[in-house]
């Protein structure tokens, strides 16, 4: 797919400062020194910051925007999905990774712990913690396999129907307070 050869770690999304790509860029040489067979795949819109952070790093490939039909396969074929964000409103790439049965390494910040729970590997936002989490995720450890299995079940809990029902419930409660 897209000329990408496994094994690889996937980071998907934007490149704003809150995405914490600087720490991922610092983590990558640590990861690569332990696992030189891995490639870091970065998907998302072209951005000068992403390019400047990762240019020249070994085994890094920027693939740009990925057609939505290809995202599930890209996620499912990854050895791990990493979401190192300092802040996320929801963290869709983490949920997408869990849904396809790929180990997810996510920062223990903002909404990510709520969405991922104990069904992924939560790490601090520093580069050494990100590196440790990714290396754990790709280790083949049976505990990681268990987390991945639970992650798929967790991802199924996040449906549009549940979201609509929860929003409607909030609006009902607000309207009785204001009404």
Domain boundaries, the chain: 8-178
Whether CATH 3.40.50.150 fits 8-178: no
**Residues 30, 99 contacting (CB under 8 angstroms):** no
CA 162 to chain centroid: 22
N-terminal to C-terminal alpha carbon distance within the chain: 55
pLDDT tens track for 157-168: 877 787 787 788
| 8 has pLDDT over 70 | yes
What is the structure's pLDDT at 112? 94
The model scores a pTM over 0.85: yes
Of 94, 93, 95, 102, which is closest to residue 148 (Cα–Cα)?
102
Q: How far apart are CA 107 and CA 80, in angstroms?
A: 14
pLDDT tens track for 120-152: 999 999 999 999 999 999 999 988 888 888 888
What is the structure's pLDDT at 171? 87
């Amino acid at each position: 797919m897209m000329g990408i050869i496994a094994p690889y770690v996937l980071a998907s999304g934007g490149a704003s400062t809150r995405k914490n790509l600087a720490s991922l860029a610092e983590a990558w040489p640590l990861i690569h020194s332990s696992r030189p067979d891995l490639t870091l795949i970065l998907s998302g819109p072209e951005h000068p910051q992403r390019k400047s952070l990762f240019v020249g790093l070994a085994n890094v490939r920027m693939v740009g925007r990925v057609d939505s039909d290809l995202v599930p396969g890209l996620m499912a074929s990854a050895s791990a999905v990493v979401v190192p964000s300092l802040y996320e409103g929801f963290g869709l790439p983490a949920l997408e990774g869990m849904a396809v049965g790929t180990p997810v390494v996510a920062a223990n910040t903002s909404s990510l712990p709520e969405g991922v729970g104990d069904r992924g590997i939560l790490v601090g936002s520093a580069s050494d913690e990100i590196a440790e989490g990714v290396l754990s995720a790709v280790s083949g450890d049976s505990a990681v396999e268990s987390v991945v299995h639970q992650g798929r079940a967790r991802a199924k809990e996040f449906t549009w129907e549940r979201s609509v029902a929860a929003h409607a419930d909030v609006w009902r409660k607000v309207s009785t307070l204001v009404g």
